[in-house]
């Protein structure tokens, strides 16, 4: 009906040609100044949280972390210790914000990044004899899981407690960083690769990154016991050599020591120093106040700064350069009266 009326009026009262531009200007809406939510506010980041250690916990726990030279990748370790300084397997988290890749693993004796930060080497922990000194069923089960015969496991086992007959072994493995984690084949390429070798109480890399050095079993059942001799493992072929080349030098990963968690000592979660990060042309401070971690924009040239964004509960300890991975202490998701009230976690902030 509207169209027919327009035709009627246009036929009886034709508009002068000079008025056509004015008529069209009155009908067309100028959308150049239209604002939407996406134009006026930045999209809120998606935050997920990953516990550093989902495995065994100790009487005390050390929180350690180390960054790649460009501070875009981080390796976080939760190192629990048992009664009388007995060794307890660790848990670790690795995240690389350049590749967008992250992984977490429990039950390792030691872990170290390769010099170029493209591969993670670790020594997987297995208990082969229970505290009573028997438990041959554990030995058979570990043999099945590691593809190492029981005789080799028994010979390579070491005491993992000073108060019982518990014995354990180490098995070396590597995780390779995929160049593009979004590619379907990256799932297979980045899966942990374990080698049928019963050694790896301590893990190191040679300076050229070509060899994984496997430390011998500890002489004493102590968590911080070192290795005196080293075997050489080719992480590409899996070939094992009994000793390192005479000219080989090992990389000692330098970790930053965070707080030590103790069941009997409370942790002050009220406040921590701000951590500065940079995302593109924007700068932010990661602030921890009253048990809450927030992102606060500090870009000097910004006319209007984004509203503070809540990351999660806890206390921020460190972060990668772009703030994708935030190392923190957070209240335990499942409180247990026999464990610490807080645990080390990593918040992943995806923009």
Q: CB-based contacts of 5: which residues, under 8 Å, 6+ apart?
A: none
The Cα–Cα gap between 51 and 332 comes to 9
Q: CB-based contacts of 28: which residues, under 8 Å, 6+ apart?
A: none
Q: How far is CA 335 from the centre of its chain?
A: 22
The residue ranges of every structural domain in the chain are: 46-350
What pTM, to 2 d.p., does this model score? Answer: 0.85
Q: Which residues face 331 on adjacent strands?
A: 342
Length in residues, the chain: 351
Tens of each residue's pLDDT in the chain, 351 residues: 444 444 433 443 344 444 333 333 333 333 333 333 333 345 678 999 999 999 989 999 999 999 999 999 999 999 999 988 999 999 999 999 999 999 999 999 999 999 999 999 999 999 998 866 555 568 999 999 999 999 999 999 999 988 888 999 999 999 999 888 777 777 777 899 999 999 999 999 999 999 999 999 999 999 999 999 999 999 999 999 999 988 999 999 999 999 999 988 888 999 999 999 999 989 999 999 999 999 999 998 876 777 889 999 999 999 999 999 999 999 987 877 778 889 999 999 998
The Cα–Cα gap between 148 and 209 comes to 26
Give every strand in the sheet of 212-215, ordered side by side: 240-241, 230-233, 212-215, 203-206, 250-251
Calculate the alpha carbon distances from 122 to 42, 93, 151, 162, 271 in Å: 40, 12, 23, 24, 34
């Amino acid at each position: 009906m509207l169209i027919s009326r327009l035709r009627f009026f246009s036929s009886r009262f034709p508009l002068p040609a000079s008025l056509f531009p004015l008529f069209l200007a009155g009908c067309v809406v100028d959308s150049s100044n239209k604002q939407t939510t996406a134009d006026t506010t930045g999209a809120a980041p998606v935050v997920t949280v990953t516990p550093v250690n989902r495995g065994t916990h100790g009487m005390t726990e050390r929180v350690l972390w180390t960054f790649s030279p460009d501070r875009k990748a981080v390796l976080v370790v939760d190192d629990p210790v048992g009664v009388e300084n007995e060794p307890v397997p660790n848990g670790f988290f690795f995240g690389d914000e350049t590749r967008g890749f992250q992984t977490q693993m429990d039950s390792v004796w030691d872990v170290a990044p390769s010099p170029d930060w493209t591969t993670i080497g670790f020594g997987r922990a297995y208990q082969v004899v229970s505290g009573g000194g028997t438990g041959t069923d554990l030995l058979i089960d570990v043999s099945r899981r590691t593809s190492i015969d029981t005789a080799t496991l028994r010979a390579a086992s070491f005491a993992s407690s000073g108060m019982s007959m518990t014995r354990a072994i180490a098995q070396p493995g590597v995780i390779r960083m995929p160049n593009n984690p979004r590619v379907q084949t990256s799932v297979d390429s980045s899966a942990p690769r374990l080698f049928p070798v019963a050694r790896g109480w301590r893990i190191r890399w040679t300076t050229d990154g070509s060899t994984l050095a496997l430390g011998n079993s500890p002489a004493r059942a102590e968590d911080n016991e070192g290795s005196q001799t080293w075997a050489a493992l080719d992480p590409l072929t899996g070939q094992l050599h009994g000793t390192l080349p005479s000219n080989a030098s090992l990389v000692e990963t330098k970790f930053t020591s965070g707080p030590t968690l103790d069941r009997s000592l409370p942790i002050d979660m009220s406040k921590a120093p701000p951590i500065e990060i940079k995302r593109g042309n924007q700068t932010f401070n990661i602030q921890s106040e009253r048990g809450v971690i927030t992102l606060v924009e500090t870009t000097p040239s910004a006319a209007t700064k984004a509203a503070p964004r809540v990351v999660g509960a806890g206390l921020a300890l460190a972060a990668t350069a772009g703030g994708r991975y935030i190392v923190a202490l957070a209240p335990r998701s499942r409180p247990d009266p026999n464990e610490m009230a807080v645990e080390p976690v990593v918040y992943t902030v995806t923009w």
